[in-house]
Structure 1
């Protein structure tokens, strides 16, 4: 599919006014930010930063006057009790003139598009889009652009670009999440705060110990096993331009104005050079400044292809800046450091101890006071030489610094001075091109037309006709000199045409007045909010859903349908135990595809329904998995939006169930997914037990499959801990496949060990070590009409599988109380059980009422 070649936008993160000004002056084409309403929930994934709803019209006018687009993040899952508030905010955003909404929730994307068809919708990276099929699914919900997953290589991005004409946006700089965005439930599991709701607790930045076959593995200086470095793809910009990518995005709405200015300017320059066919001209000093501004270790990481030894170094989880040397010893007053970079008094330095202390304690560091060599204070030291570094009294304890420790510069006062022109500018620094046309005919009023890069034009005239010249007549050179004086306006003159007739004369003061008036009018025109058709749609949508719900509701019968148990197993040994208990269906979720077919046959032979679970992520080279899954003749548990799209036109497709990873959080999304051919949907893990009940009331309990027992999948990551820490290989071709021969778990600071499993694409899932049980909520779910319950196993033994199934069957038969069920499950669990994401917080009943269908 041919793509139109476009010059990519440079998009910058904005957490407040200083960052916004920095982005504009550094040359951003677009900025993205969140908006917080005066009351109620803010629907954006960086809850601590952003702008108020009241100031949004002024923000958009400011941006548009400078030729910058403003994209608003609406990138969280929206709950049913929030839908009315969400609609009110969507209407305000559309009225305020925002240029696009960045949306995660599929149902909300469709709602926003129906409210204002003129407002572009961009599918957030939290939609986990890694294929052309995933992009096409987003198009079904109103998106015109998608933000691709950060785990894609340039080759993957190119394949997607060749298969869809959707606008494509990709991250090029900033922090990486270890988990696929939209697929992380660690904050939900361990803190009751959802990353899909803008409340990430950054559990990936914590230290972990690795257990291999039950024994702790010594990993040297690596403790932060899930903390990736930062993305730096400046050198990949020419290839992204060649591929036709529409937007290059910088991550960092929590970063300061210096970071925004430096990164924006760097990528602005790189895009301009690539578009002009020039080689990248970034200097070592410029690259060092980017590293100094913020870095956990910069690299292209997944964009350059798979290398599991590079993404996670594991020494530290926080900003490091630039490495400036290595500790060689200590003195009474300071630290001896062999320097690799120049350092100056006032620099902020930190000594990196990695993993040699227990407990770790604080890192040593402070602001450099001075440098000494051979007993004398010196102004500078050449790289490669050793100097004594001294700090303020008590800033550094030499006893806590050891030879070999890396030394990092975390703060550089010189950097602030270099970036200050972009942050404290009076007049605009980055200007946009305008073309001018001057018409000057004797006896007619002179007219000046200014046209901006978007084709908007204004024409201004003087009150009096042009008079004959007595001395110097108007000419094109003189016009270019005076009309090009656009300093302070945000414009520069790119081209001038003149239509002159007769030797006319115009005083310089009148030419200047003409220029000023034209620039002012053009700026006012650019700042106007667009006219849009905006119609509230939620009540209409809910009414239609209510009518459909009544029409589809099962007819009353004399007998209440019996509850059904669906069991998911991950090993042949677990399958043996499950077959002996004969649940209503068995789902196979195997690492090895080769074992699936005989296991499917075994389940079918004993007369049970069988499903196979799809991967949660499908990349462009993995589409053959769809054919393989269909070839098994089993039902499919659909975990990937791209797979769901790919199955739309498949004839005689098997029965499909949508899993939690499709992130169905409300009636709009759940119904839309059901309309794509799913028989049932498992709600997202962002819902608590009461919200699952609410959703059942809105879509029908027969359309939901709730998970009653599982190990919550807290991280789902492209980064393979098996390959990184149990091999010297870079990917599956040379790692030796330790995932097939070892059991691995990551133990957190509380002592809980969390199992790690790999899927067919070598992606890892880290599971909560304690099973999450729904015992205290099952009676409410049954009363709400729910009848389909799933039990999922990870590292359970066959005996544990049997006992968990039996306990749930006994409860559903009325032979066990909820308390007895929970006690039985607690006895079977090696590390105890948890209520996890199902916990219903105090005050839930005071939330707004459910929408009425």
Structure 2
């Protein structure tokens, strides 16, 4: 049976999800959650959430899906052990180091791999399953055919998103918010720069803002594909949203959703309609909400007149007092507090086809008005999880009282029996069965109601109402405790491996261009990782066979339909004598190991702690761009594996399966003139910063920082890290610039080893040329 998985940003949303038909909910705690701006749950609330959900037979998955620093890891493990002990059904995680420690410390805890892990092919899914991961959440970028292929060829459970906001970037591979403002999406603090206005060739629009995903019309196809869980996004959304969307998808799964349910989903939140994303095709511009990145609501009508601060609207749908309305595209709106008919008489409701007068000072004749809040829908949603008529769980009760005391047995999904004294001989009026049933049936705001209570009581007994209330409360509390599913306490053991020796770092270049590779070697680079599917890169590593002791293949981060191509290429290159490789993809990693490569892990593995360097067999790990100097030094000292740090180049901010250039320019697919071929494009933000956009041969977009990281002035700090490799990444530089830059770093390194931290003439020239285009990234600021 397929699972409907719903978001819960707070307890009200959790109730909304459960009472509208969710089979499971996912929620976050106050720490280590990828939605830090949601209300989230403290420890006591998590316990109550587990009790509430388990009472309804609903599972609880807790998100611990952020990257974790070394100094936080013990606290994260203690939090995970708390969740396990309290009966949480599964943990959703992103961090590879945490996965390693969880399997060592709490091996029975069910683990789900977050979409933030960026596992985008069958091989990656199967590898995680072999490491003890029960379920993998696939990227939103996959097609239905790709999902079906994975689901039907793995023992792992597969979870897919079916509704809610889309990231334009592959999740886990976006540093846009992090690099620009220090708010890391990998730490749950994304500032959503993708929802900002950008210009491309002078055309300003919301280039990076997709519509929300909706699959309510094709749920049957997704279920047929073999997925285990259908996930609704929305831990930042209000409870009314959760109630409305969960209810509609519950009905869709059960085959009873109608047009009214689908209309409600549109009304509660949409960004100019919905998209099926990449499920059936890469639809390019049709996926995007170029005009407005926020909730559009539904079209209400046009302003046909204005008098003072009041406007006249020709209604295309009903309008109620309490609705919220907005001028499309202007970001100004008002609540509807009073409605007048065309003649000025106050009315309770405006109906489709009528002209009504309402207060809206900032609206003008000709403006298009949207209804962004439908009060009737909000009231309907609230009614589903508030008030007296909400769904409750039936219980059976058996009550027995004698002069020696009373017992109350309560049975639901579990059974408890409570005994208590307090029974007395009646002096005048004995307590009746009816009075006992009335007192015991008052379950209040608990999840339960009594379907039936059998009562046996000896004659002529009196039981105080306070005692009946007490035994009822105790029985229900004990039932909730039993339903909670507490587990035995676990002991956490965590220790670091120490790197006690000093190293002399090697200069490593990462490129996909032949001229850059040769220029790097000429200037003294110790290693070159060569390979790229970017259209601007030219060259084949097979032409560098004579340098196979210094040049090694690089395999990309996202590998989907091209998997067999890269696997075959890896086999061919190994046979030619290339024995080492830089790998960015978890699925291909396993094949590279099996082929016999010594594997270097690329930065796409998001290595933020020393335990992540130990999770996979590797020659060295490229450490995250999100670590500052102190954190880098700490991590490097805490592992006995080799490490690589970034010292020059443009940080890639995101990778997207969406073709930004073709979609934005109005041509796409068959009509595409390959404008991106061998050319870098730029998008510009409101501050005038220009971000490089490069496409690959699979029409994915790679966006790079507007500024270059250049660390030539900080060689002393770099040496103090004790990293094994310094990485220089080249993108648009010509071979002469590459020669100068590699030489400058090589020279600075040799000087630094001799305690000479002065800058060479070449280094000064590089800094001068780039003086308005330099960043230190996170080296001195880091992320929260």
TM score, norm. by length of structure 2: 0.84
- 2:249 is aligned with 1:287: no
Q: 1:421 to 1:693 in 2, by over 3 A?
A: same
- 2:206 is aligned with 1:224: yes
Partner of 1:440: none
- 2:203 is aligned with 1:264: no
> Is the contact between residue 15 and residue 255 of structure 1 (CA under 8 Å) also seen in structure 2?
yes
Partner of 1:7: 2
Distance in 1 separating the partners of 2:782 and 2:146: 42
- Write the mapping of 1:388-407 to structure 2, written as runs, cut at 5 A: 389-392=357-360, 395-398=361-364, 403=366, 406-407=368-369
Distance in 1 separating the partners of 2:345 and 2:446: 53
Q: Paired residues, what number? A: 738
Distance in 2 separating the partners of 1:263 and 1:656: 45
Classify the secondary structure of the residue corresponding to 1:309. Answer: helix
Partner of 1:500: none
1:588 to 521, 530, 536: 530
Partner of 1:409: 371
Classify the secondary structure of the residue corresponding to 1:837. Answer: coil
Q: CA deviation at 1:160?
A: 0.7
> Is the contact between residue 755 and residue 795 of structure 1 (CA under 8 Å) also seen in structure 2?
no
Partner of 1:419: 381
CA deviation string 1:290-323 (max 9, x = no partner): 2222222322222333111122221112122222
Partner of 2:490: 534
Q: Which runs of 5+ in 2 are unaligned?
A: 399-407, 420-440, 453-457, 460-467
CA deviation string 1:513-558 (max 9, x = no partner): 9xx999959944752433336221214xx3xx45xx68xx7xx9xx
Distance in 1 separating the partners of 2:630 and 2:474: 60
2:590 to 635, 645, 657: 645
Distance in 1 separating the partners of 2:571 and 2:230: 37
Distance in 2 separating the partners of 1:793 and 1:331: 62
Classify the secondary structure of the residue corresponding to 1:668. Answer: helix
Q: CA deviation at 1:241?
A: 2.0
Q: CA deviation at 1:407?
A: 2.5
> Is the contact between residue 337 and residue 388 of structure 1 (CA under 8 Å) also seen in structure 2?
yes
Distance in 2 separating the partners of 1:449 and 1:85: 38
1:689 to 629, 632, 640: 629
2:293 to 309, 317, 321: 317
Partner of 1:800: 737
Classify the secondary structure of the residue corresponding to 2:285. Answer: coil
Partner of 2:424: none
Distance in 2 separating the partners of 1:656 and 1:198: 30
Partner of 2:317: 341
Q: CA deviation at 1:346?
A: 3.6
Distance in 2 separating the partners of 1:708 and 1:594: 22
Q: CA deviation at 1:638?
A: 0.7
Q: 1:486 to 1:197 in 2, by over 3 A?
A: closer
1:430 to 368, 381, 391: 391
Distance in 2 separating the partners of 1:718 and 1:433: 48
Q: CA deviation at 1:131?
A: 1.7
> Is the contact between residue 334 and residue 388 of structure 1 (CA under 8 Å) also seen in structure 2?
no
Distance in 2 separating the partners of 1:207 and 1:595: 29
Q: CA deviation at 1:116?
A: 2.1
> Is the contact between residue 65 and residue 526 of structure 1 (CA under 8 Å) also seen in structure 2?
no
Partner of 2:234: 252
CA deviation string 1:477-534 (max 9, x = no partner): xxxxxxx99999857999x9xxxxxxxxx99xxxxx9xx9999599447524333362
Distance in 1 separating the partners of 2:446 and 2:344: 56
Q: CA deviation at 1:176?
A: 1.1
> Is the contact between residue 740 and residue 762 of structure 2 (CA under 8 Å) also seen in structure 1?
no
2:506 to 558, 564, 570: 564
- Write the mapping of 1:150-229 to structure 2, written as runs, cut at 5 A: 150-210=140-200, 216-218=201-203, 223-229=205-211
Classify the secondary structure of the residue corresponding to 2:706. Answer: coil
> Is the contact between residue 188 and residue 686 of structure 1 (CA under 8 Å) also seen in structure 2?
yes
Q: CA deviation at 1:196?
A: 0.8
CA deviation string 1:432-465 (max 9, x = no partner): 688999xxxxxxxxx999664xxx567999xxxx
> Is the contact between residue 587 and residue 610 of structure 1 (CA under 8 Å) also seen in structure 2?
yes
Partner of 1:499: none
Q: 1:490 to 1:88 in 2, by over 3 A?
A: closer
- 2:661 is aligned with 1:722: yes
Q: 1:593 to 1:237 in 2, by over 3 A?
A: same
Q: 1:626 to 1:114 in 2, by over 3 A?
A: same
- Write the mapping of 1:14-29 to structure 2, written as runs, cut at 5 A: 14-29=8-23
- 2:624 is aligned with 1:655: no
Partner of 1:670: 613
Q: CA deviation at 1:339?
A: 4.2
2:138 to 143, 148, 151: 148
Q: CA deviation at 1:204?
A: 1.0
> Is the contact between residue 126 and residue 155 of structure 2 (CA under 8 Å) also seen in structure 1?
no
CA deviation string 1:387-446 (max 9, x = no partner): 465325xx4242xx7x4x54321112112222231132235x335688999xxxxxxxxx
> Is the contact between residue 78 and residue 665 of structure 1 (CA under 8 Å) also seen in structure 2?
yes
Partner of 2:34: 45
Q: Which moved more, 1:717-726 or 1:516-525?
A: 516-525
> Is the contact between residue 54 and residue 483 of structure 2 (CA under 8 Å) also seen in structure 1?
yes
Q: CA deviation at 1:378?
A: 7.2
Q: CA deviation at 1:369?
A: 4.2
> Is the contact between residue 524 and residue 743 of structure 2 (CA under 8 Å) also seen in structure 1?
no
2:563 to 598, 618, 622: 622
Distance in 2 separating the partners of 1:95 and 1:712: 41
Distance in 1 separating the partners of 2:650 and 2:536: 25
Distance in 2 separating the partners of 1:107 and 1:337: 58
> Is the contact between residue 418 and residue 475 of structure 2 (CA under 8 Å) also seen in structure 1?
no
Q: Which runs of 5+ in 1 are unaligned?
A: 1-5, 37-41, 211-215, 274-278, 355-361, 438-446, 462-483, 497-505, 508-512, 845-853
- 2:38 is aligned with 1:101: no
Classify the secondary structure of the residue corresponding to 1:101. Answer: strand
Q: CA deviation at 1:593?
A: 8.3
Distance in 2 separating the partners of 1:750 and 1:488: 52
CA deviation string 1:271-303 (max 9, x = no partner): 2x1xxxxx453224x222222222223222223
Distance in 1 separating the partners of 2:598 and 2:777: 30
Distance in 2 separating the partners of 1:433 and 1:710: 63
Distance in 2 separating the partners of 1:839 and 1:821: 24
> Is the contact between residue 535 and residue 676 of structure 2 (CA under 8 Å) also seen in structure 1?
no
> Is the contact between residue 826 and residue 832 of structure 1 (CA under 8 Å) also seen in structure 2?
no
Distance in 1 separating the partners of 2:567 and 2:449: 54
Partner of 1:751: 688
> Is the contact between residue 321 and residue 337 of structure 2 (CA under 8 Å) also seen in structure 1?
yes
Partner of 2:422: none
- 2:767 is aligned with 1:826: yes
Distance in 2 separating the partners of 1:605 and 1:328: 76
Partner of 1:699: 639
Classify the secondary structure of the residue corresponding to 1:130. Answer: coil
Q: CA deviation at 1:592?
A: 5.7
Classify the secondary structure of the residue corresponding to 1:302. Answer: coil
> Is the contact between residue 136 and residue 159 of structure 2 (CA under 8 Å) also seen in structure 1?
yes
Partner of 1:307: 283
Q: 1:336 to 1:803 in 2, by over 3 A?
A: farther
